[in-house]
Every structure is written in C-alpha cells, then in structure tokens.
C-alpha cells in the first residue's frame, strides 16, 4: 500500500518542484518512402507521418489528465532525411523540410527532428545536398529540426564537414536574422550522435531502429535541487545517494508514461532518456543544483566536479528504474534554457571555456550558446572541432548548438521565447583558427576505438 | 481502474461529505481512506475503485474540482499507477 507521505511527495514534486515528462517522441522510419521522384517521396513521407502520429498528441494529453503529471512536448523524429531524399534527382531538399513541417502541423506536434545527415566519414551525394539546404530549410519552416553528425569514436572527425557546418551555421543565422538568428537553435552538430534521442533539436530515428518507437525524455532539475536542500552540508556520499534515489523516482514516472503511451498507440516502447532537462522557468535549473552543492555561482572552480557527480548519479539512479535506457541520458547544460546558467553568464562566472570543460562530463555539449554575429565561420568550425574531439576521445556524445546572433554582440541578449529562452551573448576567442580549419581531410579515429 | 483522490485545504465542516457525495452519485467505491491535519491544513487521501463508474475519468475529475471550489479546497484525481511506479521497486 502506498502511504500518505509517498502520495504527498509525488504531488509536491509535480506542483512545487516542476516534475514533468519533457517529451514523448515518436520515432518513425521513412526508409520505405524513398522514390526516384522527389514529389512522390514527399507524398509518401507526409502520409506515413500523419498516419502513425495521428493520435500522438491526444494520447499524450489523455495520459497527462489521468496520471496528473504534465507532459510538456509531443514530438516526432524521422530517419535522417539525406538517406531518403537522395533516391530522388532533386538538387535541393528544402521541399522535404516543408513536407516535414506540414506533417508536424497536421498532427499537432511542436517539433519534428530528422532533417539530418550522418557524415562522420564522408559525404554521399545526398548528404552534401542536405547540408547545403539546411539554412533555407530552417528559415522557411517552423517546426523542423536539423542535425549533422560529423564525427565518431570509430571513424574520427570529418573536418570537411566541420568546415562546412561553420558556414552553414553563419548562413542560417543570416537567413533568420529577423528573429535573433533562431534558425541556429534548431540545428545541432554532433559527434557520436545517438539514434534514439527523444530530445530536440538533435532527435532523429536511426537506421538501426525499428519501424517506429515511442521514446520518452524525463526531466526534473527542480526535484533534485529540492532533495539536496533537505541535506544541507552533508558529504558527497550522501549527495550522490540522494540524487540517485530522486533520479529513480523521476525515471519511474517516465517509464510508466512510456509504457502507457506505447500501449495506447500500438507502437513499441523504445527507451527512456534519463535526462535532467532544464527550462528557463525559475525552479527548473541544472545550474541551481550545482550551486546547491556549495558553489557560489555556477561556473566557478568546482563546477566540473559537481556536474560530473550529478551526471553519474542521475544515470545510476535512473538505470534501474527503466527497462531500456537510451538517448543522451544525463544532465543538460543549455545556457539559454536554464535560468541559473543565464544568471551565471551575466554574473561573469560562466565562460565558454568553462562550458567546454563541463561538456566533458555531462550528457551533451555546448548547447544554446549565443555568440557575436560577427564571429567568423572558421571560429564556429573550430568550436565544433573541439567539441567533436572531446566526444570521440571520450566515447561520448557531444553536440554544438551555437547561435552567432546576426547584428548583435557581447553585452546584448538574444530572445528566442518559450522553452528556448534568452541567451546573453558570450565572447569567443578573438584569435583566428582559419588556417587550421581550411586544411580539411579527416582527423583519424583514436587508438582506443580499435577494440576488436 | 483504481485511483487516488487527494484533498488539501483549510479545515472546515463538510469536506468529506462533499467529496463522498460526488463519489456516491457516480458509483465510485472507496477502498481506503486516510485523513490528517498538516499544521492547520486538512489533508485527505482516498483510494477509490472506478470500475462501476458510468462516466469518464475527465468528467469525474471535473466534478471533483467543482466541489473543491465550493469547499475552498484543492482536489486531485490521479491513476494509482503514478504513485506505485514512483514509490515501489
């Protein structure tokens, strides 16, 4: 029998500590939508997405109503579009992005991910076309998210793609200049991208996945912070145990919602992503958890150690709570989407260099970081290269979602609205990386990737 | 289906009567009930069985919220599995 305290604890987590299910994401394979005619392929894509995801939003809302736990987003991820579109003779894939946008609107989801290419070793015909189509695709659509995987521990880093992505980001920023370059907030450059990530903007449905899956991303930074508030001054053994127990409970809620959504939609359950995903709302911040551990402001010395402990404890607690764990799983540190991170940047405590160090121990990478609009493309590429190197050497996923805000500079802010938040513009290193990036070629896979 | 009803608010006469009247009207059976005072707040949880209920979950929820407004208390109805999932291994 559940006791009174347990019931009140759950209700408090939801009401006061902002526990929610961040996303139910339906992954849909589009591999059977290839066609030599781009137009026919797009018809197949639209029909398939709208058929599979017809009831996704309604089922999400029903579960929210019956279980009393908010489910913030319902989303869709699809097979990397470069793989589907390149069967056609089209020379530009913007129309494919428009089809995804239309399908997403038809079923009522707020984002659709998978305008993507996997180019860690090189470009196939369609990969190049897709990458060149990204700026316009993100400018003319609202809900489409794009990602490009430029490196992996097994194949090294494709430095030609890294070079191209610096330019693609700049161009995307320019084409969406009227909205603080928001197009870049829908574009992630990955190393070691995962195939079952439910979180945007980096979600796509990998080629090794099944026909369709239900993947769920949990959240709950506020719950972890509240748990730590009850053990002020305790040692790290106690801190780690407390986070583990809290992560277990959060993840169990995610597993329940995932099972229920899968059952009602008649689509198999894929994974639960054990992530602490913050929002710009007060009380929903990862930075504030690190500060609760004893740091005056997030970003000061000790931040990397605090984040390492947090990330590890979240995984340890969450793994036992879910039958299949996947996605990115860990703590996210998106600057503009985290009220505490924004405050830390404004206080001068959190720099780009410290964030880079933090990405060595958290679940993703440099996320939602605004930099001056006049940052050279080669500097953006070099930032991507650094992150990709951290990823491939440490066998972890790293991503870069960086916004060179057109026409703005340090001291100003970019305002994206909603979950994407507000980003203070951070300075980048003023010395050039252009000659480094222009070399091209591939950085070889690290020696420890040869495990066979 | 079984669900938990939780009622929290300022203590006053007639809270249990108000809630159980809605349950009786909708053929909802009470399996367990626990009530206490947290400082000056009235707090109650009920485990209820909804299998004979002729109306939908949302309608019962709306009815309970309505009576909660009249009584000046917060009333929630949630499927029991959310609590079982989070608090049992």
Q: DSSP states of A127-143 as a string?
A: HHHHHHHHHHHHHH-SS
Taking each helix axis from N to C terminus, what angle separates A94-107 and A125-140, rounded to the nearest 10 degrees?
Answer: 50
Whole-prediction pTM value? Answer: 0.95
Closest Cα partner for A422 from A412, A410, A431, A413?
A413
The answer to whether residues A165 and A127 touch, using CB atoms and an 8 Å cutoff, is no
A166, A167, A223 from A118: Cα distances, Å:
16, 18, 36
Whether residue A140 is predicted with pLDDT greater than 80 in this model: the reply is: yes
Per-residue pLDDT, B37: 85
Per-residue pLDDT tens digits for B53-82:
999 999 999 999 999 999 999 999 999 999
Residue A3: band (very low, low, confident or very high) from pLDDT cuts 50, 70, 90? confident
- Alpha-carbon distance of A32 to A358, in angstroms, equals 40
Helix (H, G, I), strand (E, B) or coil at A216: strand
Cβ-based burial of A352 (10 A; exposed 0-12, middle 13-18, buried ≥19): middle
Q: What is the CATH number of the domain that holds B20?
A: 3.30.70.260
| Minimal Cβ distance to B85: which of A1, A68, A256 | A256
Per-residue pLDDT, A1: 63
Q: Which residues of chain B does A6 touch, with a Cβ-Cβ cutoff of 8 Å?
A: 83, 86-87
Distance from CA of A244 to the nearest CA of B (A): 13
- Average of per-residue pLDDT across A210-239: 96
Closest Cα partner for A322 from A366, A378, A368, A257?
A257
Per-residue pLDDT tens digits for A302-321:
999 999 999 999 999 999 99
Whether residue B33 is predicted with pLDDT greater than 80 in this model: the reply is: yes
Q: Is B45 in contact with A7 (Cβ distance < 8 A)?
A: yes
Per-residue pLDDT, A16: 87
Q: Does B81 touch chain A (CB under 8 A)?
A: yes
- Average of per-residue pLDDT across A423-429: 96
Q: What is the count of structural domains for chain B?
A: 1
Q: Does A272 touch chain B (CB under 8 A)?
A: no
Which residue's entry shows tokens 């797009």?
A42
Helix (H, G, I), strand (E, B) or coil at B32: strand
Per-residue pLDDT, A4: 86
Q: Which residues of chain B does A12 touch, with a Cβ-Cβ cutoff of 8 Å?
A: none
Scan residues 10-69 of B and list those with Cβ closer than 8 Å to A: 32, 34, 36, 43, 45, 57-58, 61
Q: H-helix or E-strand containing B35? A: strand B29-38
Q: Which structural domain range is residue B13 located in?
A: 2-87
Q: Does A249 touch chain B (CB under 8 A)?
A: yes
Whether residue B39 is predicted with pLDDT greater than 80 in this model: the reply is: no
Counting Cα atoms < 13 Å in the Cβ hemisphere of A270 gives 28
Q: Does A252 touch chain B (CB under 8 A)?
A: yes
- Nearest 5°: the CA angle A449, A123, A133 is 130
Residue B40: band (very low, low, confident or very high) from pLDDT cuts 50, 70, 90? confident
Helix (H, G, I), strand (E, B) or coil at B42: strand
Whether residue A163 is predicted with pLDDT greater than 70 in this model: the reply is: yes
- Alpha-carbon distance of B65 to B61, in angstroms, equals 6
Residue A209: band (very low, low, confident or very high) from pLDDT cuts 50, 70, 90? very high
Distance from CA of B56 to the nearest CA of A (A): 10
Q: Is A7 in contact with B84 (Cβ distance < 8 A)?
A: no
Q: Which residues of chain A does B83 touch, with a Cβ-Cβ cutoff of 8 Å?
A: 2, 6-7, 10
Per-residue pLDDT, A330: 86
| Minimal Cβ distance to A65: which of B6, B57, B85 | B57
Q: Is B83 in contact with A2 (Cβ distance < 8 A)?
A: yes
Which residue's entry shows tokens 């127990």?
A245
| Minimal Cβ distance to A67: which of B45, B58, B79 | B79
Whether residue A382 is predicted with pLDDT greater than 90 in this model: the reply is: yes
Per-residue pLDDT, A430: 96
- Alpha-carbon distance of B64 to B72, in angstroms, equals 12
- Alpha-carbon distance of A137 to A130, in angstroms, equals 9
Per-residue pLDDT tens digits for A225-248:
999 999 999 999 999 999 999 999
Per-residue pLDDT, A418: 83
Q: Does A61 touch chain B (CB under 8 A)?
A: no
* Closest CA in chain A for residue B89: A321
The answer to whether residues A389 and A178 touch, using CB atoms and an 8 Å cutoff, is no
- Average of per-residue pLDDT across A367-391: 97
Residue A452: band (very low, low, confident or very high) from pLDDT cuts 50, 70, 90? confident
The answer to whether residues A189 and A424 touch, using CB atoms and an 8 Å cutoff, is no
Whether residue A256 is predicted with pLDDT greater than 80 in this model: the reply is: yes
Q: Does A11 touch chain B (CB under 8 A)?
A: yes
Looking at residue B6, the DSSP 8-state letter turns out to be E
Q: Which residues of chain B does A58 touch, with a Cβ-Cβ cutoff of 8 Å?
A: none
| Minimal Cβ distance to B82: which of A1, A8, A10 | A10
A74, A117, A442 from A113: Cα distances, Å:
12, 12, 27
Closest Cα partner for A213 from A254, A274, A267?
A267
Which domains does chain A carry? 20-191 (3.20.70.20)
Per-residue pLDDT, A2: 76
Question: Best residue in A5, A8, A9, A10 to probe B by mutation, most B CBs within 10 Å?
Answer: A10
């Amino acid at each position: 029998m559940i006791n009174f305290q347990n019931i009140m604890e759950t209700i408090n987590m939801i009401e006061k500590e902002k526990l929610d299910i961040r996303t139910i994401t339906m992954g849909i394979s589009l591999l059977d939508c290839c066609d030599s005619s781009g137009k026919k392929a797009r018809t197949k894509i639209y029909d398939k997405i709208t058929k599979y995801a017809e009831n996704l939003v309604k089922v999400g809302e029903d579960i929210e109503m019956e279980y009393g736990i908010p489910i913030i987003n319902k989303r869709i991820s699809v097979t990397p579009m470069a793989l589907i579109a390149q069967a056609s003779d089209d020379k530009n894939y913007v129309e494919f992005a428009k089809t995804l946008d239309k399908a997403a609107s038809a079923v009522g989801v707020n984002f659709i991910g998978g305008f993507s290419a996997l180019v860690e070793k090189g470009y196939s015909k369609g990969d190049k076309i897709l990458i060149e189509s990204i700026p316009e695709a993100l400018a003319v659509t609202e809900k489409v998210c794009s990602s490009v995987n430029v490196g992996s521990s097994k194949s090294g880093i494709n430095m030609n793609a890294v070079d191209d992505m610096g330019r693609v980001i700049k161009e995307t920023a320019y084409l969406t200049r009227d909205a603080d370059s928001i197009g870049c907030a829908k574009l992630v450059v990955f190393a070691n991208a995962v195939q079952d990530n439910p979180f945007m903007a980096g979600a796509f449905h990998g080629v090794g996945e099944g026909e369709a899956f239900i993947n769920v991303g949990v959240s709950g930074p506020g719950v972890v912070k509240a748990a730590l508030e009850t053990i002020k001054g305790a040692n790290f053994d106690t801190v780690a145990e407390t986070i583990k127990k809290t992560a277990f409970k959060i993840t169990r809620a995610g597993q329940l919602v995932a099972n229920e959504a899968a059952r009602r939609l008649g689509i198999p359950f894929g994974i639960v992503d054990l992530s602490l995903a913050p929002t710009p709302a007060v009380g929903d911040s990862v930075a504030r958890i690190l500060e609760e551990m004893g740091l005056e402001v997030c970003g000061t010395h000790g931040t990397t150690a605090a984040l390492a402990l947090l990330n590890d404890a979240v995984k340890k607690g969450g793994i036992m709570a879910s039958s299949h764990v996947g996605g990115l799983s860990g703590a996210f540190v998106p600057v503009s989407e985290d009220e505490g991170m924004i405050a830390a940047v404004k206080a001068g405590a959190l720099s780009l260099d410290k964030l880079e160090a933090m990405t060595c121990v958290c679940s993703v990478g440099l996320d939602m970081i605004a930099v001056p609009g006049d940052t050279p493309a080669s500097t953006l590429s070099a930032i991507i290269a650094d992150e990709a190197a951290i990823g491939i050497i440490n066998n972890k996923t790293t991503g870069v979602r960086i916004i060179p805000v057109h026409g703005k500079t340090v001291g100003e802010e970019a305002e994206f609205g909603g979950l994407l938040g507000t980003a203070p513009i951070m300075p980048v290193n003023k010395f050039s990386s252009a000659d480094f990036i222009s070399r091209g070629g591939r950085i070889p896979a690290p020696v420890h990737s040869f495990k066979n | 289906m079984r669900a938990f009803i939780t009622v929290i608010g300022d203590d006053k006469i007639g809270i249990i009567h108000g809630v159980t009247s809605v349950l009786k009207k909708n053929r909802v059976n009470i399996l367990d009930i626990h009530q206490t005072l947290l400082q000056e707040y009235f707090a109650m949880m009920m485990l209820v069985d909804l299998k004979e209920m002729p109306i939908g979950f949302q309608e019962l929820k709306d009815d309970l919220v309505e009576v909660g407004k009249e009584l000046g208390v917060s009333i929630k109805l949630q499927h029991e599995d959310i609590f079982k999932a989070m608090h049992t291994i």
